Amino acid sequence: MSSSSFNTPDQGLRVDLECVKNNTDHHTHEITEERLIIRRGQALSLKISAENIQQNHITITAETGPGASEAKGTLRSFSTESSTNPAQVCSRSESSVSLTLVFPSDAPVGRYSVCVKHRSSSCVNTLTLLFNPWCKDDSVYLPSEAERQEYIMSEQGVVYKGVDEYITSMSWDYAQFEEDIVDICLKLLDLNPKCLKEPQEDYSARCNPVYISRVVSAMINSDDDRGVLMGQWGDSYTGGVPPSRWSSSVEILRRWMKYDCSPVKYGQCWVFAAVMCTVMRCLGIPCRVVTNFQSAHDTDRNLVVDEYFSDYGVRPKQSLDSVWNFHVWVEAWMRRPDLTQDTHTLYDGWQVLDPTPQEKSSGTYCCGPAPVKAILEGHTEVKYDVPFVFAEVNADRVTWLLMADRSRKKIMSDSRSVGQNISTKAVGSSSRLDITDLYKHREGSAQERAVYTEAVNRLTDLQISESPPVSVQMKLSLDVAPLNGADVPLKLLMKGSRAQCVCVCISAQVMRYTGAPAAAVWNHSTDVQLQDIEEKALPFTLPFSAYGHRMLENNCIKVSAIAREKNNPNDMFLTEKNIILHTPNLSLTVSGSPLLDSVMSAVVQFENPLPSVLQNCSISLTGSGLLKNTEKSSTVQLGPGQRITLQVSFTPYRLGLKKLMANFNSATFRDIQASAEVSVRPA
């Protein structure tokens, strides 16, 4: 029997769920047309057949969760005779009645058991109910159709990484419409600790996207529950997959489901965020992935990040506070009726949610939803977690120098560098959209400082830090793009306000993207004589032999320069620069007619640009709607100038704009990526 109908042969009652029509009307046909998946606040149609059917004797009962009740909103009855919950008759004949009914726009989402009764006959089946951004009465309503297509319907996206001066991008396969993903998302909701403790209350609360988003934020990480991903920011990824290898949510979610909901190893911030985006879009909540460059992690809620250096230029200890090269979270679109009645509409719209386990929120590793509008205006008392997110985009940085006698000296206060180039994928294209002005006013403006002061005053009575005077200006610069596998030429530009001799200590550390040092790899000291207002350039080279073996699982190189005036050793000055190394190109070409169920081919190729042999080289290729499974090459070694090629034939199985994503890995270069869009048309 087809899953689109019920049948009770002894009584002759049949119900056609009209899955193709309903799922198409409800924008869920990309998931399946074999079972009913609908959105709340929108009519669905049913056709009920029986001998001598009487339209006045039809009732439909839908319930979700244990102990379903009307009081909790988890039990709902529809009747052809009801005026409050009508099942409206559209047409009838002697043997059938066609009905429409609507689940309220505030009904709990999830899997429902539906019982249709006609006189003494009944039949039962299931449907899945999702949020509805097309419905004006739904609290996730998104007015723009172009934005609905991007933030609900698009299965591919772009995640931004790197540093603020060199932003890199990677394609990500969200794959929220793969048929099994909706079941995995519902399993994730069922395993959350709130559901395990009080299932009736949890199922009732699933009407609220604020509640759902906090649950999903907590369940993407596994720090205090049976969540999807285990984080790892160290040097070893034994027993799992390095975070940089992932490029698709579907493989992660399927692996979690396959192995009894044990956490998948391993994730870092962009992986947590991308997987959460998949879950949110699947459930029907508009969602986008956002990257903040120079992202502060403020552990003590004072909106200040303290950083420490030694007098020879390296970071001698791990501060509890830090500034990450980049940090990735998601935004979800929803109304905020949970906030005060007079102001809640002010905070409607995009909300920050962060599934990366950094700090606890109400005792759980989750973050948000924090209204972006509250962050912009410094309203740090608004829930949830606005102070933490405000600090990520607008904290002040105070830099301290640790002396040999363990005393410390404040050498810099910086109110401008945190929160740069906040980025997300643009609607309808693969270009980068800068949304910094949604989070903060222009750096250095009177309005930005006023908002910062307001944010501090709402949290604490601490004084805002001022910078000490500067008599030596320094800047590190690159004349050419730094290439992985080659020496890196740099230049230190110095300018004094008077004639003076300074001792300069330059050091390089390989850094994790979280701002934590992985290893010191190079240092150099020299004396420099500065003349009054004269600029002096000090060239130097960072050799590949010093940094190469340390870069495999690390994000960048931080070069720091500390200058100390020889006649006044207490006067010290600091500058630093993050260097992201450029990697070789990976070639991906696609041929064939992009027609549904027609054979196409893809060729991925990489050429070794180094004068040395590359070990453990391999290529993989993924793409939802195009490839059912990940295709992988064999692992080989490549001599100088040699190539590795992966050729794949594939048959598109879903219509619309899809994306192939290729990935190259070796013992020297990790996660070099290429992508190609394929717009699949009907045959």
Highest mean predicted confidence (pLDDT) among 357-366, 405-414, 450-459, 466-475:
357-366
> Which of residues 483 and 314 earns the better pLDDT score?
483
Burial environment of residue 200 by CB neighbours within 10 A (0 to 12, 13 to 18, 19 or more): middle
Q: Using alpha carbons, select from 456, 153, 133, 510 the residue that is nearest to residue 314.
A: 510
Cβ-contact 592, 362 below 8 angstroms: no
| Predicted confidence band of residue 141 (pLDDT cuts 50, 70, 90) | very high
Burial environment of residue 275 by CB neighbours within 10 A (0 to 12, 13 to 18, 19 or more): buried
Express as a percent the part of the chain with pLDDT over 90. 69
| Predicted confidence band of residue 639 (pLDDT cuts 50, 70, 90) | very high
Decide the pairing of beta strands 572-579 and 517-530. unpaired
Distance of CA 288 to the CA centre of its chain: 7
Angle at 11 between CA 10 and CA 15, to 5 degrees: 115
**Which whole number is the average pLDDT over 262-291?**
98
pLDDT of residue 465 exceeding 60, the answer is no
Structure tokens at 260: 């009894």
301-311 residue pLDDT tens: 889 998 887 76
Predicted local distance difference test score (pLDDT) of residue 130: 98
Contacts of residues 166-170 at CB distance under 8 Å and 24 or more positions apart, as own/partner, are 166/580, 167/293, 167/421, 167/423, 167/432, 168/580, 169/432, 170/247, 170/270, 170/671, 170/673
**Which whole number is the average pLDDT over 604-627?**
92
Predicted local distance difference test score (pLDDT) of residue 169: 93
| Predicted confidence band of residue 6 (pLDDT cuts 50, 70, 90) | very low
Average pLDDT, the chain: 91
Residues with active-site annotation: 269, 327, 354
**Which whole number is the average pLDDT over 448-464?**
80
**Which whole number is the average pLDDT over 586-593?**
96
Strands of the sheet containing 37-39, edge to edge, are: 37-39, 121-130, 110-118, 58-63, 75-79
pLDDT of residue 466 exceeding 80, the answer is no
pLDDT of residue 478 exceeding 50, the answer is yes
Least confident piece of the model among 21-25, 243-247, 513-517, 633-637: 513-517
Q: Using alpha carbons, select from 373, 41, 370 the residue that is nearest to residue 210.
A: 370
| Predicted confidence band of residue 566 (pLDDT cuts 50, 70, 90) | confident
Cβ-contact 356, 333 below 8 angstroms: no
Predicted local distance difference test score (pLDDT) of residue 120: 84
376-394 residue pLDDT tens: 999 999 999 999 999 999 9
pLDDT of residue 553 exceeding 70, the answer is no
Predicted local distance difference test score (pLDDT) of residue 531: 85
597-611 residue pLDDT tens: 999 999 999 999 888
| Predicted confidence band of residue 3 (pLDDT cuts 50, 70, 90) | very low
Q: Using alpha carbons, select from 492, 495, 610, 608 the residue that is nearest to residue 542.
A: 492
- In 3-state terms, what secondary structure has residue 518? strand
pLDDT of residue 189 exceeding 60, the answer is yes
> Which of residues 168 and 569 earns the better pLDDT score?
168
